[in-house]
Structure 1
Amino acid sequence: MSPAKSLPAAIAAVVLFAPVSARAEGDFFGWIRGDWYLEVGVTGLVAPNFEGGKKYLLGAEPIISLGKAGGDTRFSSRNDNISLGLYDNGNFRAGLNGKLLLRRDSDTEGLEGLDPVRWGGEVGGFAEFYPLEWLRVRGEVRQGFRAHHGVVADFAADAFYDVTPEVRISGGPRMSFASASYFDAYYGVNAAESVATGLAEYKPGGGLKSVGVGGAVTWKVTDPITASLFGEYSRLTGPAADSSLVRQNGSKDQFTIGISTSYRFDFKL
């Protein structure tokens, strides 16, 4: 089995068996009871006008995270998608997660003549652990629906350091894999689209989508309120980089900068 297939399978197995392990320690309702948190917020960012694009636009994304509160302050990143923690022992956390996907219109500059991609989402699981006190490693595996029917796997490692009790700096590498169905939805060009756009026909396979690095400065404004300034760079590779859409109308180099703010609600069940 290739690394692109074995890594997502390993993460998925951890996510599936972690909740079972938690339930084995007691009944389900016993697991539900306790301290929980809900973090909500918004991110404003400047990013490419489409995945693989070379023009940049101002946009916004939601921040949503729900889980059982652990004993230590949890590290979180803007790369973390909507998450529901099902198991947490302090050094290891796993659960369900999802991602909202907005519609990609065909009237966007660089996409004229291509079929639109419908709005949809991705659902799956995540697992994260702390091999060192100052390092978090996280993986997500998600199945797409409506917008695409492929599988996406994202991996990230973030080192973090508290400059003061309120200010933290963090950063590290990122890597993303995807299946052929995902690439076909966002990077494929069929015969009709080729005639309409002048792009070369392209039928992608699956594989490594991108590698990159990101960093952030996070400020704990008050106990429940957090603000962040961040920057990300990714380099499209494999089926994404080989697409005629990227080669003729886009760029392999993708930059994102932005600010975010979130509010954390603590409650008991």
Structure 2
Amino acid sequence: MAILLFGRATAFFVLGATCATGVAAQEAPRRTRIAAGPQLVPRFPGAKGVVVRPFLDFSRVRGDQVFQFEAADESSSTSIVQNSGFAVGPAVNLEGSRRTRDVPGVPKVGFTVEAGGFAQYTASALPMRGRVELRQGIGGHKGLIGVASLDYVARDADEWLFAIGPRVTYSNGKYQRAYFGVPVESVGTSGLAAYRPSGGVHAVGATASYLKQLSRHWGVSTYAKYDRLVDDAADSPVVRRYGSRNQWSGGLALSYTFFGRAN
């Protein structure tokens, strides 16, 4: 089991540790890797500025196996079904709020829990992994968001790992209207033209990550991500005045592996 965590999903670190501990008791011995550091992410979808949030990772594997590849930008998740390279399970992400002062005159977007699932396939003949996620917002934007990714993964066991690949992000009309729309009743208070986006692809981009084991126990990991807003999201008056079509993220973490690296 491996749980990938970011600043938006810090609360699930305890949940992941609890679940993994229960499994380890039945299938010992296992190795545990914990990583922590800072990351810069957009303050909210479509924002021009970035904020510093925790960049956390918690992973466990059998002692004779390498750690499973996890993309730096995927949601917190755990596999409940794994067979012949396929994996399926629940996924959770936390999205911060967009405050009224971030976009004056337009309704704020509250803190959102995005709950859903993922499906992925790791090819045995090629160093590739494809993954799709679909999450429903609970509170906050209340919309539906999905991400499709494809990663090329090069590695030398747990000594080092490099991954890079494209991303396509989809959202429904409710999500896009929350972050990119301008209701008619907000025209007078915001000074923006009324705008009602529909659902569809709202961003395309890529993510690259690198992990390096420095010693038996210590290692480092880093990532960089770029998304470009497209279609209705890119044409939003909110993005044009207060945000940016270019969305950048990046992080750096120090890791510690209990019981050392795999043989």
Output one character per residue of 1:94-144: Cα deviation in whole Å (capped at 9) or x when no partner. 111110122221123xx1222221112111111111124411111111111
- Call closer, same or farther: CA 1:69–1:166 in 2, change over 3 Å: closer
CA distance in 2, matches of 1:83, 1:222: 28
1:82 aligns with 2:94: no
> 1:237 corresponds to which residue?
230
Q: Is the 8 Å Cα contact of residues 68 and 86 (structure 1) preserved in structure 2? A: no
Counterpart residue identity of residue 105, structure 2: G
1:103 to 1:165, Cα distance in 2 relative to 1, 3 A: closer
* Alignment match, 1:45: 39
Q: Partner residue of 1:57?
A: 51
* 1:96 is the counterpart of 2:90: yes
Amino-acid identity (%):
27
Aligned: 1:105 with 2:94: no
Determine which of 117, 122, 134 is the counterpart of 2:109.
Answer: 117
Aligned partner of 1:257 among 245, 250, 259: 250
In structure 1, the residue matched to 2:9 is none
Q: Quote the RMSD (CA, aligned, Å).
A: 3.0
Q: For structure 1, which runs of at least 5 residues remain unmatched after alignment?
A: 1-31
Aligned to 2:204: 211
Q: Secondary structure at the match of 1:85?
A: coil
Deviations 1:194-238, CA, capped at 9 Å, x for gaps:
222211111111000111011111123456765311111111012
**Structure 2 residues without counterparts, runs of 5 or longer:** 1-24
For residues 37 and 106 of structure 1, what CA distance do their matches in structure 2 show? 45
Whether 2:114 is the aligned partner of 1:129: answer: no
Contact 2:44 2:97 in 1 (8 A): no
Report the equivalent of 1:172.
165
- Could you tell me whether the CA contact under 8 Å between 1:163 and 1:169 is conserved in 2? no
CA contact (8 A) 1:194 1:200 kept: yes
Which position in structure 1 is the counterpart of 2:213? 220
Secondary structure of the 1:194 match is: helix
Distance in 2 (CA, whole Å) between partners of 1:235 and 1:245 is 15
Question: Which residue of the other structure, out of 150, 161, 172, is the alignment partner of 2:143?
Answer: 150
Describe the shift of the 1:226–1:185 C-alpha distance in structure 2 as closer, same or farther (beyond 3 A): farther
C-alpha deviation, 1:250, in angstroms: 1.8
Moved over 6 A (4+): 35-39, 65-70
Distance 2:49 2:156 in 1: 35
TM-score, normalized by length of structure 1?
Answer: 0.75
| Aligned partner of residue 186 in structure 1, secondary structure | helix
Instruction: Kindly indicate whether the alpha-carbon contact (under 8 Å) linking 1:38 and 1:66 is maintained by their aligned counterparts in 2.
Output: yes
Question: Structure 1: how far apart are the matches of 2:214 and 2:54?
Answer: 21
CA–CA separation in structure 2 for the residues paired with 1:193 and 1:88: 48
Q: Any conservation in 2 of the 1:230–1:258 contact (CA below 8 Å)?
A: yes
Shift of 1:163: 6.1
Name the aligned partner's letter for residue 244 of structure 2: S
Native 8 Å contact 2:94 2:113 kept in 1: yes
Inter-partner Cα distance in structure 1 for 2:32 and 2:97 = 27
1:50 Cα deviation (Å)?
2.8
- Counterpart amino acid of 1:254? Q
Asked if the contact 1:224–1:265 (Cα under 8 Å) also holds between the matched residues in 2, the reply is: yes
